[in-house]
Structure 1
Amino acid sequence: MSEIETIADGSGKTHFGLNNKQARDLADALIELGIPTNIVRVMICLHTHGATTSKTLQTRCELRQPEISTAIKMLNERSLVEIQSTGASGRGRPSHIYKLSKSIELCIEHFTSEIQRDITAMQNGLQNVQRLTQSL
């Protein structure tokens, strides 16, 4: 099976070309934490394959161009991706080369820190609701 084919492992989950079990498990764990699937796909693809174009990401991640664009935008807002413009050959829009600007570990740490902040905020909110409920 080629690296760009979808792998089904019997769990009903697809792993967008990840042949390494650890990478598949990591992708599943990140998605289960609530990180959007498209971001996980793009982030792990860029880590696994290095710098690449939107067209290649579309093939490897099995996503449409708007989905790639949204994922890249969200990674870029977090300063986790570098975008290098390449001149348009002839007519048309210039294309871009994308690559992670940090190690995969630091990218994941960024998202897990966001999740931890959200958990803390929810815990504080729950405590507030419990406190207010007791005073009724």
Structure 2
Amino acid sequence: MGSSFIPELTDTENEVIRLLVEVGLKMNEARILVVFFRGAELTSREIERIADLRQPEVSVAITGLTKRKWVIVASLITANKGRPVKVFSLAEPVDAILDELRDGICEGHDQQMIMLSRIREIIRK
């Protein structure tokens, strides 16, 4: 946190983002999640710079990720007057997040298979 050099997303990270979107994550949530896969605690401003997103986009995506309980928020009290700075980090290990995504895909697939079976039953009547 607080580094003057903030690297851009790499080609590999962009590929991971693309894959996360294909499995059902929203684009901005995927971008931010991949930034957190680096293992850092970051402020909203740092996330904006690395993920190349605007503040409102970061805010909406962070809200979605915290609802899934994948990201936690902590307040960092500074010596300056004013609001505390919010610091964000992963709440779950990367593998746990990927397992949750996998389970959601499997569950969705099972539901689709049930619907197809029901369609067959209806058509055969």
Q: Which has the higher contact order (CA 8 A, sep 6+)?
A: 2
Unaligned regions of 5+ residues in structure 1, if any?
Answer: 5-16
> Could you tell me which of 45, 65, 69 is aligned with 1:75?
65
**Any idea what the Cα deviations from partners look like across 1:96-119, whole Å, max 9, x if unmatched?**
101111221211211221122112
Match of 2:74 in 1: 84
Partner of 1:34: 24
Tell me, yes or no, if structure 1 residue 61 matches structure 2 residue 51. yes
RMSD, matched Cα = 1.9
Residue 10 of structure 2 aligns with which residue?
18
Offset at residue 26 of structure 1 (A): 2.5
1:30 offset after TM fit, Å? 1.5
Residue aligning to 2:97: 107
TM-score (norm 1): 0.76
Give the Å deviation of 1:76: 1.3
**Deviation, structure 1 residue 87:** 3.1
CA distance in 2, matches of 1:81, 1:45: 12
1:3 corresponds to 2:30: no
Kindly, what percent of the aligned residue pairs are identical? 20
The alignment covers a number of residue pairs equal to 119
Helix, strand or coil: the match of 1:48?
coil
Normalising to structure 2: TM-score of the pair? 0.82
